Structure 1
Protein backbone atom coordinates (compact mmCIF):
# COMPACT_ATOMS: atom_id res chain seq x y z
CA UNK A 1 0.00 0.00 0.00
CA UNK A 2 1.09 3.55 -0.58
CA UNK A 3 1.85 5.63 2.51
CA UNK A 4 -1.34 7.64 2.06
CA UNK A 5 -3.39 4.43 1.93
CA UNK A 6 -1.71 3.21 5.11
CA UNK A 7 -2.43 6.52 6.82
CA UNK A 8 -6.07 6.36 5.76
CA UNK A 9 -6.47 2.81 7.10
CA UNK A 10 -4.86 3.94 10.39
CA UNK A 11 -7.42 6.76 10.66
CA UNK A 12 -10.30 4.43 9.82
CA UNK A 13 -9.14 1.90 12.43
CA UNK A 14 -8.78 4.75 14.93
CA UNK A 15 -12.42 5.65 14.25
CA UNK A 16 -13.34 2.07 15.13
CA UNK A 17 -11.39 2.34 18.39
CA UNK A 18 -13.17 5.61 19.17
CA UNK A 19 -16.55 4.01 18.43
CA UNK A 20 -15.82 1.20 20.87
CA UNK A 21 -14.59 3.66 23.50
CA UNK A 22 -17.86 5.57 23.21
CA UNK A 23 -19.87 2.37 23.57
CA UNK A 24 -17.86 1.37 26.64
CA UNK A 25 -18.25 4.87 28.08
CA UNK A 26 -22.03 4.54 27.71
CA UNK A 27 -21.90 1.21 29.53
CA UNK A 28 -19.80 2.74 32.33
CA UNK A 29 -22.12 5.76 32.57
CA UNK A 30 -25.27 3.67 33.03
CA UNK A 31 -26.90 4.52 36.35
CA UNK A 32 -28.05 1.87 38.82
CA UNK A 33 -30.64 -0.26 37.03
CA UNK A 34 -29.59 1.06 33.62
CA UNK A 35 -28.90 -2.35 32.14
CA UNK A 36 -32.55 -3.31 32.66
CA UNK A 37 -34.21 -0.34 30.91
CA UNK A 38 -36.29 -0.84 27.76
CA UNK A 39 -37.63 1.72 25.30
CA UNK A 40 -40.81 -0.34 24.83
CA UNK A 41 -42.59 -3.01 26.80
CA UNK A 42 -41.31 -6.31 25.46
CA UNK A 43 -38.39 -4.62 23.71
CA UNK A 44 -34.79 -5.49 24.44
CA UNK A 45 -33.10 -4.25 27.59
CA UNK A 46 -29.97 -2.13 27.39
CA UNK A 47 -28.05 -5.25 28.41
CA UNK A 48 -29.59 -7.23 25.56
CA UNK A 49 -28.72 -4.51 23.05
CA UNK A 50 -25.09 -4.54 24.19
CA UNK A 51 -24.93 -8.32 23.96
CA UNK A 52 -26.49 -8.15 20.50
CA UNK A 53 -23.74 -5.72 19.43
CA UNK A 54 -21.08 -8.13 20.70
CA UNK A 55 -22.73 -11.08 18.95
CA UNK A 56 -23.11 -9.25 15.63
CA UNK A 57 -19.44 -8.26 15.66
CA UNK A 58 -18.36 -11.86 16.25
CA UNK A 59 -20.77 -13.24 13.64
CA UNK A 60 -19.67 -10.83 10.93
CA UNK A 61 -15.99 -11.54 11.55
CA UNK A 62 -16.67 -15.30 11.45
CA UNK A 63 -18.62 -14.94 8.18
CA UNK A 64 -16.41 -12.40 6.43
CA UNK A 65 -12.88 -13.03 7.67
CA UNK A 66 -13.01 -16.41 9.42
CA UNK A 67 -9.25 -16.52 9.86
CA UNK A 68 -9.66 -13.65 12.35
CA UNK A 69 -12.54 -15.18 14.32
CA UNK A 70 -11.20 -15.24 17.87
CA UNK A 71 -11.03 -18.26 20.11
CA UNK A 72 -12.54 -16.59 23.13
CA UNK A 73 -12.69 -18.07 26.61
CA UNK A 74 -16.18 -19.20 27.65
CA UNK A 75 -16.72 -16.14 29.86
CA UNK A 76 -16.45 -13.90 26.79
CA UNK A 77 -18.85 -15.89 24.63
CA UNK A 78 -22.49 -14.90 24.76
CA UNK A 79 -24.94 -17.66 25.65
CA UNK A 80 -27.22 -16.21 22.98
CA UNK A 81 -27.33 -13.13 20.77
CA UNK A 82 -29.85 -11.31 22.96
CA UNK A 83 -28.65 -12.54 26.37
CA UNK A 84 -29.76 -10.36 29.27
CA UNK A 85 -26.31 -10.19 30.88
CA UNK A 86 -26.24 -8.00 33.99
CA UNK A 87 -22.53 -8.04 34.80
CA UNK A 88 -21.29 -4.78 33.29
CA UNK A 89 -17.64 -5.75 33.67
CA UNK A 90 -18.25 -8.96 31.72
CA UNK A 91 -20.09 -6.98 29.04
CA UNK A 92 -17.14 -4.58 28.84
CA UNK A 93 -14.65 -7.44 28.44
CA UNK A 94 -16.84 -8.94 25.71
CA UNK A 95 -17.09 -5.66 23.83
CA UNK A 96 -13.33 -5.13 24.03
CA UNK A 97 -12.69 -8.66 22.71
CA UNK A 98 -15.13 -8.37 19.81
CA UNK A 99 -13.89 -4.88 18.93
CA UNK A 100 -10.35 -6.28 18.71
CA UNK A 101 -11.55 -9.12 16.49
CA UNK A 102 -13.17 -6.63 14.10
CA UNK A 103 -10.04 -4.44 14.14
CA UNK A 104 -7.84 -7.47 13.37
CA UNK A 105 -10.12 -8.62 10.54
CA UNK A 106 -10.26 -5.22 8.85
CA UNK A 107 -6.55 -4.53 9.29
CA UNK A 108 -5.58 -8.03 8.17
CA UNK A 109 -7.83 -8.19 5.12
CA UNK A 110 -6.85 -4.64 4.09
CA UNK A 111 -3.12 -5.36 4.45
CA UNK A 112 -3.58 -8.51 2.35
CA UNK A 113 -5.61 -6.62 -0.27
CA UNK A 114 -8.53 -9.01 0.21
CA UNK A 115 -12.23 -8.29 0.10
CA UNK A 116 -14.43 -9.72 2.79
CA UNK A 117 -15.68 -13.25 2.26
CA UNK A 118 -19.46 -12.81 2.25
CA UNK A 119 -20.89 -9.32 2.73
CA UNK A 120 -18.54 -6.48 1.87
CA UNK A 121 -16.60 -5.34 -1.20
CA UNK A 122 -13.95 -3.76 1.03
CA UNK A 123 -13.04 -4.41 4.68
CA UNK A 124 -13.71 -0.77 5.60
CA UNK A 125 -17.39 -1.32 4.76
CA UNK A 126 -17.61 -3.72 7.69
CA UNK A 127 -16.49 -0.92 10.02
CA UNK A 128 -18.91 1.53 8.48
CA UNK A 129 -21.77 -0.92 8.86
CA UNK A 130 -20.89 -1.66 12.49
CA UNK A 131 -20.44 2.00 13.46
CA UNK A 132 -23.86 2.79 11.99
CA UNK A 133 -25.41 -0.28 13.66
CA UNK A 134 -23.89 0.51 17.04
CA UNK A 135 -24.82 4.19 16.87
CA UNK A 136 -28.41 3.12 16.25
CA UNK A 137 -28.41 0.92 19.35
CA UNK A 138 -26.57 3.57 21.36
CA UNK A 139 -29.50 5.89 20.64
CA UNK A 140 -31.99 3.19 21.66
CA UNK A 141 -30.22 2.78 24.99
CA UNK A 142 -30.20 6.52 25.65
CA UNK A 143 -33.90 6.73 24.72
CA UNK A 144 -34.71 3.85 27.05
CA UNK A 145 -32.83 5.62 29.85
CA UNK A 146 -34.88 8.81 29.24
CA UNK A 147 -38.16 6.89 29.24
CA UNK A 148 -37.17 5.23 32.52
CA UNK A 149 -36.33 8.59 34.09
CA UNK A 150 -32.61 7.74 34.15
CA UNK A 151 -31.36 10.04 31.40
CA UNK A 152 -27.66 10.80 31.29
CA UNK A 153 -27.26 14.59 31.43
CA UNK A 154 -25.83 16.23 28.30
CA UNK A 155 -22.92 17.68 30.25
CA UNK A 156 -22.01 14.14 31.34
CA UNK A 157 -22.68 12.46 27.99
CA UNK A 158 -20.78 14.96 25.83
CA UNK A 159 -17.26 14.35 27.15
CA UNK A 160 -17.62 10.57 26.89
CA UNK A 161 -19.21 10.57 23.42
CA UNK A 162 -18.89 13.59 21.14
CA UNK A 163 -15.55 14.65 22.62
CA UNK A 164 -14.12 11.22 21.76
CA UNK A 165 -15.06 11.65 18.09
CA UNK A 166 -13.86 15.24 17.93
CA UNK A 167 -10.55 14.79 19.77
CA UNK A 168 -7.72 15.91 17.51
CA UNK A 169 -4.88 13.50 18.15
CA UNK A 170 -2.74 11.25 16.06
CA UNK A 171 -4.31 7.86 15.27
CA UNK A 172 -2.98 5.02 17.38
Structure 2
Protein backbone atom coordinates (compact mmCIF):
# COMPACT_ATOMS: atom_id res chain seq x y z
CA UNK A 1 0.00 0.00 0.00
CA UNK A 2 1.23 3.51 -0.83
CA UNK A 3 2.27 5.83 1.99
CA UNK A 4 0.20 8.69 0.67
CA UNK A 5 -2.48 9.58 -1.80
CA UNK A 6 -0.03 11.80 -3.69
CA UNK A 7 2.39 8.86 -4.14
CA UNK A 8 -0.47 6.71 -5.45
CA UNK A 9 -1.55 9.44 -7.88
CA UNK A 10 1.97 9.88 -9.23
CA UNK A 11 2.30 6.12 -9.52
CA UNK A 12 -0.98 6.01 -11.47
CA UNK A 13 0.42 8.48 -14.00
CA UNK A 14 3.60 6.40 -14.36
CA UNK A 15 1.46 3.29 -14.87
CA UNK A 16 -0.51 5.15 -17.53
CA UNK A 17 2.76 6.04 -19.26
CA UNK A 18 3.84 2.38 -19.12
CA UNK A 19 0.53 1.36 -20.72
CA UNK A 20 1.09 3.86 -23.54
CA UNK A 21 4.60 2.51 -24.10
CA UNK A 22 3.35 -1.10 -23.97
CA UNK A 23 0.74 -0.22 -26.59
CA UNK A 24 3.41 1.45 -28.72
CA UNK A 25 5.65 -1.64 -28.47
CA UNK A 26 2.75 -3.97 -29.36
CA UNK A 27 1.88 -2.18 -32.60
CA UNK A 28 1.86 -4.43 -35.64
CA UNK A 29 3.91 -3.60 -38.71
CA UNK A 30 2.51 -0.38 -40.17
CA UNK A 31 0.49 0.29 -37.01
CA UNK A 32 1.77 3.85 -36.65
CA UNK A 33 0.02 4.70 -39.93
CA UNK A 34 -3.39 3.25 -38.96
CA UNK A 35 -6.34 5.67 -38.75
CA UNK A 36 -9.70 5.28 -37.02
CA UNK A 37 -11.37 6.96 -40.02
CA UNK A 38 -10.19 8.46 -43.27
CA UNK A 39 -8.90 11.94 -42.47
CA UNK A 40 -8.44 11.29 -38.76
CA UNK A 41 -4.97 11.38 -37.16
CA UNK A 42 -2.81 8.32 -37.59
CA UNK A 43 -1.69 6.33 -34.56
CA UNK A 44 1.74 7.95 -34.85
CA UNK A 45 0.18 11.40 -35.00
CA UNK A 46 -1.87 10.56 -31.92
CA UNK A 47 1.24 9.56 -29.99
CA UNK A 48 2.89 12.81 -31.10
CA UNK A 49 -0.21 14.74 -30.03
CA UNK A 50 -0.11 13.16 -26.55
CA UNK A 51 3.52 14.20 -26.14
CA UNK A 52 2.91 17.69 -27.45
CA UNK A 53 -0.12 18.16 -25.20
CA UNK A 54 1.92 17.11 -22.18
CA UNK A 55 4.57 19.67 -23.09
CA UNK A 56 2.14 22.46 -23.92
CA UNK A 57 0.32 22.31 -20.59
CA UNK A 58 3.48 21.72 -18.58
CA UNK A 59 5.02 24.80 -20.21
CA UNK A 60 1.89 26.76 -19.30
CA UNK A 61 1.73 25.84 -15.62
CA UNK A 62 5.25 24.73 -14.59
CA UNK A 63 7.66 25.85 -17.31
CA UNK A 64 10.77 25.18 -15.24
CA UNK A 65 9.98 21.45 -15.46
CA UNK A 66 9.51 21.53 -19.25
CA UNK A 67 13.01 22.80 -20.01
CA UNK A 68 14.87 20.60 -22.48
CA UNK A 69 11.84 18.51 -23.40
CA UNK A 70 11.22 18.19 -27.10
CA UNK A 71 7.91 17.97 -28.94
CA UNK A 72 7.29 15.29 -31.53
CA UNK A 73 6.52 16.43 -35.03
CA UNK A 74 5.27 13.32 -36.68
CA UNK A 75 6.06 14.76 -40.11
CA UNK A 76 9.80 14.39 -39.29
CA UNK A 77 11.02 10.95 -40.47
CA UNK A 78 13.02 10.56 -37.24
CA UNK A 79 9.79 10.77 -35.22
CA UNK A 80 8.13 8.03 -37.27
CA UNK A 81 9.23 5.14 -35.10
CA UNK A 82 8.58 3.72 -31.69
CA UNK A 83 12.25 4.35 -30.99
CA UNK A 84 11.70 8.08 -31.56
CA UNK A 85 8.52 8.27 -29.49
CA UNK A 86 9.46 6.17 -26.46
CA UNK A 87 12.25 8.33 -24.98
CA UNK A 88 10.14 11.47 -25.38
CA UNK A 89 7.32 9.85 -23.39
CA UNK A 90 9.70 8.68 -20.67
CA UNK A 91 11.14 12.18 -20.25
CA UNK A 92 7.81 14.01 -20.27
CA UNK A 93 6.25 11.57 -17.78
CA UNK A 94 9.17 12.11 -15.38
CA UNK A 95 8.90 15.89 -15.78
CA UNK A 96 5.15 15.89 -15.13
CA UNK A 97 5.58 13.78 -11.99
CA UNK A 98 8.36 16.06 -10.72
CA UNK A 99 6.26 19.17 -11.35
CA UNK A 100 3.16 17.74 -9.65
CA UNK A 101 5.18 16.44 -6.70
CA UNK A 102 6.87 19.82 -6.28
CA UNK A 103 3.58 21.72 -6.35
CA UNK A 104 1.95 19.24 -3.96
CA UNK A 105 4.81 19.56 -1.49
CA UNK A 106 4.79 23.35 -1.80
CA UNK A 107 1.00 23.50 -1.50
CA UNK A 108 0.80 25.49 -4.72
CA UNK A 109 -1.56 25.29 -7.68
CA UNK A 110 -0.32 24.58 -11.17
CA UNK A 111 -0.55 28.00 -12.77
CA UNK A 112 1.03 30.31 -15.27
CA UNK A 113 0.16 33.50 -17.08
CA UNK A 114 -2.52 31.87 -19.26
CA UNK A 115 -3.62 28.69 -17.49
CA UNK A 116 -4.39 27.48 -14.00
CA UNK A 117 -5.28 24.24 -12.28
CA UNK A 118 -6.50 24.98 -8.75
CA UNK A 119 -4.76 21.85 -7.48
CA UNK A 120 -1.88 19.81 -8.98
CA UNK A 121 -4.08 16.71 -8.98
CA UNK A 122 -6.43 18.40 -11.45
CA UNK A 123 -3.52 18.84 -13.88
CA UNK A 124 -2.61 15.18 -13.48
CA UNK A 125 -6.23 14.12 -14.00
CA UNK A 126 -6.43 16.23 -17.17
CA UNK A 127 -3.38 14.41 -18.55
CA UNK A 128 -4.80 10.99 -17.61
CA UNK A 129 -8.22 11.68 -19.11
CA UNK A 130 -6.72 13.08 -22.31
CA UNK A 131 -4.35 10.17 -22.76
CA UNK A 132 -7.05 7.58 -22.01
CA UNK A 133 -9.18 9.11 -24.76
CA UNK A 134 -6.33 8.68 -27.24
CA UNK A 135 -5.71 5.07 -26.18
CA UNK A 136 -9.29 4.38 -27.25
CA UNK A 137 -8.74 6.15 -30.56
CA UNK A 138 -5.51 4.22 -31.14
CA UNK A 139 -7.18 0.88 -30.43
CA UNK A 140 -10.08 1.81 -32.73
CA UNK A 141 -7.63 2.70 -35.51
CA UNK A 142 -5.88 -0.64 -35.09
CA UNK A 143 -9.19 -2.53 -35.17
CA UNK A 144 -10.03 -0.78 -38.42
CA UNK A 145 -6.90 -2.32 -39.96
CA UNK A 146 -7.95 -5.75 -38.69
CA UNK A 147 -5.57 -5.84 -35.74
CA UNK A 148 -7.06 -6.74 -32.39
CA UNK A 149 -4.54 -7.11 -29.60
CA UNK A 150 -4.65 -10.70 -28.34
CA UNK A 151 -6.43 -10.90 -24.99
CA UNK A 152 -3.39 -12.30 -23.16
CA UNK A 153 -1.18 -9.48 -24.47
CA UNK A 154 -3.80 -6.84 -23.66
CA UNK A 155 -4.13 -8.18 -20.13
CA UNK A 156 -0.37 -8.08 -19.64
CA UNK A 157 0.26 -4.75 -21.40
CA UNK A 158 -2.70 -2.77 -20.07
CA UNK A 159 -5.05 -4.19 -17.45
CA UNK A 160 -2.59 -5.98 -15.16
CA UNK A 161 -0.94 -2.63 -14.45
CA UNK A 162 -4.13 -1.49 -12.68
CA UNK A 163 -5.28 -4.58 -10.85
CA UNK A 164 -4.50 -8.20 -10.07
CA UNK A 165 -6.98 -10.98 -10.51
CA UNK A 166 -6.86 -14.42 -8.95
CA UNK A 167 -9.53 -16.88 -10.06
Common topology (TM > 0.5): yes
The structural deviation recorded for 1:24 is: 0.4
Match of 2:125 in 1: 128
Q: 2 CA distance for matches of 1:104 and 1:58?
A: 13
Q: Which portions of structure 1, spanning 4 or more consecutive aligned residues, are displaced by more than 2 angstroms?
A: 76-79, 82-85
Q: Aligned pair count?
A: 159
The structural deviation recorded for 1:167 is: 4.8
Is 2:110 the partner of 1:113? Answer: no
Match of 2:163 in 1: 166
SS at match of 1:19: helix
Q: Tell me, which stretches of 5 or more residues in structure 1 are unaligned? A: none
Is 2:138 the partner of 1:144? Answer: no
CA distance 1:167–1:65, shift in 2 (3 Å): farther
The structural deviation recorded for 1:98 is: 1.0
Q: 2 CA distance for matches of 1:83 and 1:127?
A: 28
Deviations 1:90-149 (A, max 9, x none): 100111111111111101111111001123110011111111111110011111101111
CA distance 1:83–1:15, shift in 2 (3 Å): farther
SS at match of 1:166: coil
TM-score of the superposed pair, with normalisation by structure 2: 0.89
Q: Tell me, which stretches of 5 or more residues in structure 2 are unaligned? A: none
Is 2:97 the partner of 1:100? Answer: no
Return the structure number with greater relative CO, CA threshold 8 A, min gap 6.
Answer: 1
CA distance 1:94–1:133, shift in 2 (3 Å): same
Match of 2:53 in 1: 56
Q: 2 CA distance for matches of 1:47 and 1:167?
A: 30
SS at match of 1:40: coil
- Cα RMSD over matched residues? 1.8
TM-score of the superposed pair, with normalisation by structure 1: 0.86
Match of 2:83 in 1: 89
Q: 2 CA distance for matches of 1:87 and 1:110?
A: 35
CA distance 1:103–1:43, shift in 2 (3 Å): same
CA distance 1:167–1:93, shift in 2 (3 Å): farther
